[in-house]
Amino acid sequence: MGSFVVDLTFRTERIPVWGETLMGSKFKLGPGGKGSNQAVTAARAGDHVSFVSKLGPDPFGDMAHNLYRNEGIDASLVFTTASATGVAAIIVDALGSLGTLSAQLRHDWERTNSQFCKSLNIDGIIYGAGRGGRTLAGVRNT
């Protein structure tokens, strides 16, 4: 269980000060989000992965669905919401320092948990909170 965001990564000599516009040297658009990145890494390591999340009904949500399909990740528990899929603007300077501005979909985790548990016919889930998100740690059977 975790989030998917589209990373918009800009590379530039230095981080701009507030109100300043700088020209970047490189730009990359790609998949991100801590939970999604962990799911992809586990799938590439050969693990069977089922991912639980929410996506918006937009091109970025389509990007996530295509990623999960291409990586062999079970996305049957990825729910669609009316809100837009999350995005993160990442600015990286020549020394590798970065600043990030993120606009993430507000996950209604309690509702997601309820949908997830109902679909698996379980009583609840147990997960830990880490920096930046929640990671599924276990399942309690009914």
Q: Among candidates 56, 65, 36, 52, which has minimal Cα distance to 109?
A: 52
In percent, the amount of the chain with pLDDT more than 70 equals: 73
* Residue 107 · residue 121 · CB < 8 Å: no
Architecture of domain 5-106: 3-Layer(aba) Sandwich (3.40)
Mean residue pLDDT across the chain = 79
Non-local (6+) Cβ contacts of 63 within 8 A are 6, 31, 85
* Residue 3 · residue 107 · CB < 8 Å: yes
Model confidence pLDDT, tens digit, residues 2-41: 889 999 999 999 999 989 999 999 999 999 988 899 889 9
Task: Answer yes or no: is pLDDT of 123 > 60.
Answer: no
Q: Which of 42-46, 108-112, 137-141 has the lowest mean pLDDT?
A: 137-141
Predicted confidence band of residue 80 (pLDDT cuts 50, 70, 90): confident
Where do the H-state alpha helices sit in the chain? 34-44, 59-71, 109-120
Model confidence pLDDT, tens digit, residues 62-73: 999 999 999 999
Model confidence pLDDT, tens digit, residues 41-63: 988 988 888 888 889 999 999 99
Mean pLDDT of 120-128: 48
Predicted confidence band of residue 113 (pLDDT cuts 50, 70, 90): low
Could you give the CA distance from residue 85 to residue 82 in angstroms, rounded to a whole number? 9
Could you give the CA distance from residue 124 to residue 53 in angstroms, rounded to a whole number? 16
